């Protein structure tokens, strides 16, 4: 009689439902590595386990792993599996490689996001004061975290929540959904940005300018402030290089 062995489950991963499953798989594995769930040198789950955890095809998993290897996050050893690179938690090179590999795509998407963020801020400025409380709350959560020296990993979701709060208040059928999808693209680049010296307070100050314009119900100023905020990221991505320190 043979004993059936079962491989361990990985409940930290969630089923993929977005249009871009490969990207979401890559983002979730990246987050798991950064959080320390998989230490340097540790093996990732097998392809079969990852297929089951994410509910996607083996092709999708292989594409996601190939992307992580190209970013320098993991090494793939044929016949053995994928392993977290040594020292990945202490250096920015993997993320720098990601930005450099996807620079043109990121810039195009950021320009679109900037235009949509501007429209969202303009729309939010037209809403009643009571509707704007959620924006103020999301802004304050980011400010508090930045002042307390929160890590980039903790600041990223707060930054996303702030921008999405504006889109939700602005309303509409498609704008919040589009901005939610676009914000999901920029997780890796946001992680680099918030690790830059002085970036969290700079972002908080720019957020404050957006909030002030919205609270003043100045639609034009809100649009301009939101678009200018994203334009700063466009310029940073355009100039970014791993050949010099991130500062």
List the chain domain ranges: 21-90, 93-239
Could you please report the per-residue DSSP string of 44-99?
PPPHHHHHHHHT--HHHHHHHHHHHHHTTSEEEETTTEEEEPTTGGG-SHHHHHHH
**How much is the pLDDT for 132?**
97
The correct answer on CATH 1.10.630.10 for the domain covering 21-90 is no
The whole-chain average pLDDT of the chain stands at 83
**How much is the pLDDT for 207?**
97
The mean pLDDT of 181-192, rounded to a whole number, is 78
- For 121-153, write each residue's pLDDT tens digit: 999 999 999 999 999 999 999 999 999 988 888
**How much is the pLDDT for 71?**
65
Q: What distance in Å separates the CA atoms of residue 180 and residue 61, rounded to the nearest whole number? A: 23
Distance of CA 39 to the CA centre of its chain: 21
**How much is the pLDDT for 148?**
93
Q: Of 115-129, 177-191, 200-214, where does mean pLDDT reach its minimum? A: 177-191
Q: Out of 3.20.10.10, 1.20.1440.120, 3.20.20.370, 1.20.120.530, which CATH number does the structure's domain 93-239 have?
A: 1.20.120.530
- For 82-111, write each residue's pLDDT tens digit: 998 875 555 545 566 666 677 888 899 999
């Amino acid at each position: 009689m043979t004993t059936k062995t079962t491989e361990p489950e990985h409940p930290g991963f969630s089923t993929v439902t977005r249009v871009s499953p490969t990207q979401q798989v890559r983002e979730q594995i990246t987050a798991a590595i950064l959080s320390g769930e998989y230490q340097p040198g540790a093996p990732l789950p097998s392809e079969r386990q990852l297929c089951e955890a994410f509910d996607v095809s083996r092709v999708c998993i292989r594409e996601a792993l190939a992307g992580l290897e190209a970013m320098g996050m993991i090494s793939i050893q044929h016949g053995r599996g994928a392993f977290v690179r040594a020292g990945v938690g202490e250096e920015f090179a993997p993320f720098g490689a990601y930005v450099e590999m996807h620079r043109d795509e990121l810039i195009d998407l950021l320009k679109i996001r900037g235009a949509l963020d501007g429209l969202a801020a303009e729309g939010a400025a037209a809403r009643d004061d009571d509707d704007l409380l959620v924006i103020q709350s999301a802004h304050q959560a980011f400010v508090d975290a930045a002042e307390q020296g929160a890590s980039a990993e903790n600041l990223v979701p707060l930054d996303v929540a702030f921008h999405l709060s504006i889109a939700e208040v602005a309303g509409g059928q498609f704008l919040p959904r589009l901005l939610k999808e676009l914000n999901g693209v920029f997780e890796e680049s946001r992680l680099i940005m918030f690790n830059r010296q002085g970036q969290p307070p700079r972002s908080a100050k720019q957020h404050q300018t957006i909030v002030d314009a919205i609270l003043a119900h100045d639609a034009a100023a809100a649009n301009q402030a939101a678009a200018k905020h994203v334009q700063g990221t466009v310029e940073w991505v355009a100039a970014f290089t791993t050949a010099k320190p991130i500062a």
